[in-house]
Structure 1
Amino acid sequence: MTGGSGTGATTFSPPVQRLRRFGLQRGWPVIGAASRLARATLARRKPVIAVVGSYGKTTTTAAIAAALGLPRPRFGNAFAGPALDLLLRGASRKPLALEVGIGRKGQMIRHARAIRPDIVVVTSIGTEHARSLGDQEGIREEKARIFAGMRSGGVAFLNGDDPHVRAMARHVPGVVVTFGFGADNDVRLLDRQLDWPYGTRLEIDRFGERVTVRTRLLGRIAAYPVLAALAVAHRLGHDRREAVAGLERLEPTPGRLRLTRLPQGNWLLGDEHKGNLETIHAALDVLEEIPARRLVVMGEIHEPPGSVGPLYRALGARLAGIATHVVMVGSRKSFLSLRSGARQAGLSPEVFTHAGREWRKAFDILTGLLQPEDVLLVKGRDRQRLMRLSLALTGRPVSCGLVDCALPMPGCHVCPRL
């Protein structure tokens, strides 16, 4: 058994991880019923915070836990995981921050009934799970079912910059608080400065109170978890200085825009966990601000929302304005579309290299490219497991050569098959 995952969950060997996931899935009816009973009795006075959304859930949950001085969830965001966390921690009156994830219709209402949140934080509505949940409107409506379980007097904290999230306000039976960059948000960002390579300096208006946070998180996207956490801390009456101190201690989660100094004197920006289009552009937003020579290892788009060719060509055009070299790990067809878009935007096709589907080939290519103080973004679809490339670049031995990995592991850094 090994500690540590994206959400602070306990991790296990692949066979045990599969068994654990199977147990959480098959045991959901029983665990959910027990959680409902606990919520009505032992945990009835416990403030429960549910974090939902297409992306940004893990970092936002971690930020809320850091601001409030709480442990992170142990059992993940899927199936009976949130209910089991509530069941095992229900006796304490300390708040409980839970990450709640879904992959199919009908799952969110089960979460809502099992955990009965007092506070719901909605981070974003994107295109992930479009195949099972439909378009963004369908995804939004399915995620909004969490409010069916919200307890009396509950509060919803909504990302006010996301129109799909704002539209969820009509489902909220209690108070709505918005956070974001726009001037009409209740908790809003006033100023943001990249503090390279440390992180980001944020100036925030929290209900009329000015708050400064120097976070280890990078870029524009880093502001949203901090804004949400400060808003929740205010609602729960938590000391502002303690909340800020907790947020400033928060480290980026592995696989989610985590910055690492490499032995050769360059920098690795690892964002290997998800590859949906919204997170790709968010990662490129961060990279674009960094004052250095910028390289990208680009994996495949996860669940592309539309025709694949135009999406890759548009992505190539974006890369042309940011990167000095791009290494593509994926199909040749995707690579050709990516390179075509970059060429049309003015970038020489010679700086685009195809590594096939092998992360090891990408490693060999990078060996001859990286220079001191370069910044390398590694971004890919979860099942590509490009974290293996990142770990190899740090000098860690990596023997796994799987091209497509479906193991239910939170990251390659904790997998015994590495």
Structure 2
Amino acid sequence: MGTGKRFFHSTIYPVGMIKQLFTNLLAASAKRAIRRDKPFIIAITGSYGKSSTKEAIAIALGTREAGSGVRATRKNYNNEFGVPFTVLNVPAPGKDPLKWLRILLRAVWVGWGFGHVNARMLVLEMGADRPGDLNWLVRMAPPDISVITAVAEAHSEFFGTLDDVAVEKATLVRRLKKGGVVVLNNDDPRVTAMRKETECEAHYFGFSEGSDVRVVTTEPSVITDAHGHFLPQGIQLRLEIDEREERVLLKGTIGRPQAASAAAALALAKQLHVPVRQAIERLEKDYHGIAGRTRVIPGIKYTTIIDDTYNAASPATVISAICDLAALPLLGTQRKIAVIGEMRELGEYSEEAHRAVGLEVAAKGIAYLVTVGEGGRLIAAAAREGGMDTMQIKEFDTSPEAGIYLQGYIQTGDVLLAKGSQGSRMEKVVKELMAEPLEAPFLLVRMDDEWQRMG
């Protein structure tokens, strides 16, 4: 996380010193501005699901409506630079020195009282690559409400054990403002255990009994095309809120994680006295998932792509996506194809995690498996061990190779899931297969100039 070293390169001063000076100035400015203007702060963290939950919360609170006064983290800018960027309302500068200079001037201007935060409410996504990252962020922006989505093996090479990850995520619970509220995922025992970390009010969301907003069922929303095939369009949720049944249709995205994000948003909106029906209508109108998170994209040859290529930081997220693919109803000759890249930053869990994914693909009866990278070979081997025929599996070193191969292999009606770690660059597979490749800059992750220069 953080900004790369090229901008900070100096022959006089060490890179780390320059970066720390920038970080300290941004943090001090954001902290001073928050203390002075007192915006209401909602902080979201978790091993996965942060960005989708942040987006759902912001929409449920009306951020898309003029004059709402709600500002949310752009994209997934959730680190020591991204959080102050949101507070100070400035775009990410990339590697442009002039843009960095403007940001520093803006930081001084707002932080030292010449400008203002200009938001009554901030919805801040907070990420952690290493122990202590969240403590830095909450000192800058102490939360009134904290939302915890999950604890999983993401970035385990820096944390060691899952308990270490949980301790880091619980920082947002321990550092709540007096009288604050915590909103917890009721499906994750390590998250619900965080209730003990605070005397503040706690509320729960999820699929489990006892959730304040409970997802009772999820069903794919499909249409039938001219070829007689089912095409996934979204997901229909049946929720239980205050002992009342509510239905929510999320368009353009599928999957249990999206259902959990919507439930979290409604649980939080309830605490802020937003009428449930109004929050649901906002989600149905404006929440279509975000780039690279189980977004439905039309593919060539009248196929459908489930684009989950943003990351695969945890085997739990990959297995969840495979289960969502397996649950889709299909007709006739339609096939389900899993295109999976390796998972990175898993440390000692890596081999076990990749094997678990391969076994899940085999167990769920997926018609065809395409893997990318060294970790992908572990997935393929485990799928064979799980009973999948060798003829149903294809392995590649890179994502472009996989995409070009699939152009010739797929047939009308196929539904493909594409997923992998950032480093696997699985969005390149989606770009090769999407029906409207000119839409890639608007629909896919990592399409900006900086990522494209990286290859």
CA distance in 1, matches of 2:393, 2:320: 21
Residue in 2 that maps onto 1:242: 278
1:198 to 233, 236, 245: 233
Residue in 1 that maps onto 2:80: 79
| Residue 312 of structure 1: how far off its partner (Å) | 3.3
SS at match of 1:326: strand
| Residue 119 of structure 1: how far off its partner (Å) | 0.5
Residue in 2 that maps onto 1:6: none
Q: 1:38-77 to 2 correspondence within 5 Å? A: 38-42=33-37, 44=38, 46-70=39-63, 71-74=71-74, 76-77=77-78
C-alpha contact (below 8 Å) 2:142/2:175 kept by paired residues: yes
Residue in 2 that maps onto 1:414: 448
CA distance in 2, matches of 1:291, 1:25: 52
2:395 to 347, 354, 357: 354
C-alpha contact (below 8 Å) 1:112/1:147 kept by paired residues: no
Q: Structure 1 residues 106-115 or 57-66, which shifts more? A: 106-115
* Amino acid paired to 1:112: V
1:313 matches 2:355: yes
| Residue 14 of structure 1: how far off its partner (Å) | 11
C-alpha contact (below 8 Å) 1:359/1:389 kept by paired residues: yes
Residue in 2 that maps onto 1:189: 215
Distance 1:73 1:17, change over 3 A: farther
Distance 1:67 1:52, change over 3 A: same
Residue in 2 that maps onto 1:380: 420
CA distance in 2, matches of 1:380, 1:17: 30
Distance 1:334 1:84, change over 3 A: closer
Gap runs ≥5 in structure 2: 64-70, 91-115, 223-231
SS at match of 2:409: coil
* Amino acid paired to 1:208: E
CA distance in 1, matches of 2:59, 2:148: 18
1:33 matches 2:21: no
Residue in 2 that maps onto 1:323: 366
| Residue 37 of structure 1: how far off its partner (Å) | 1.9
C-alpha contact (below 8 Å) 2:234/2:296 kept by paired residues: no
Distance 1:323 1:234, change over 3 A: same
Distance 1:274 1:219, change over 3 A: same
CA distance in 2, matches of 1:307, 1:49: 32
| Residue 170 of structure 1: how far off its partner (Å) | 1.4
C-alpha contact (below 8 Å) 1:100/1:111 kept by paired residues: yes
C-alpha contact (below 8 Å) 1:220/1:285 kept by paired residues: no
C-alpha contact (below 8 Å) 2:73/2:123 kept by paired residues: yes
C-alpha contact (below 8 Å) 2:255/2:294 kept by paired residues: no
Distance 1:78 1:25, change over 3 A: farther
TM (norm. structure 2) is 0.79
| Residue 277 of structure 1: how far off its partner (Å) | 1.0
Aligned length: 390
CA RMSD of aligned residues (A): 2.8
Deviation track 1:324-359 (CA, whole Å, cap 9, x = no partner) reads 11111112x751x4333223322211111111x222
* Amino acid paired to 2:383: A
| Percentage of identical aligned residues | 28
Deviation track 1:10-68 (CA, whole Å, cap 9, x = no partner) reads xx99977999x9988652222222222222221x2x22100010000000000001111
TM (norm. structure 1) is 0.85
CA distance in 2, matches of 1:132, 1:169: 25
Gap runs ≥5 in structure 1: 1-11, 399-409
1:299 to 319, 336, 341: 341
CA distance in 1, matches of 2:27, 2:350: 39
Q: Structure 1 residues 124-133 or 70-79, which shifts more? A: 70-79
SS at match of 1:194: strand
C-alpha contact (below 8 Å) 1:78/1:100 kept by paired residues: yes
CA distance in 1, matches of 2:9, 2:326: 38
Q: 1:267-278 to 2 correspondence within 5 Å? A: 267-275=304-312, 276-278=314-316
C-alpha contact (below 8 Å) 2:56/2:283 kept by paired residues: yes
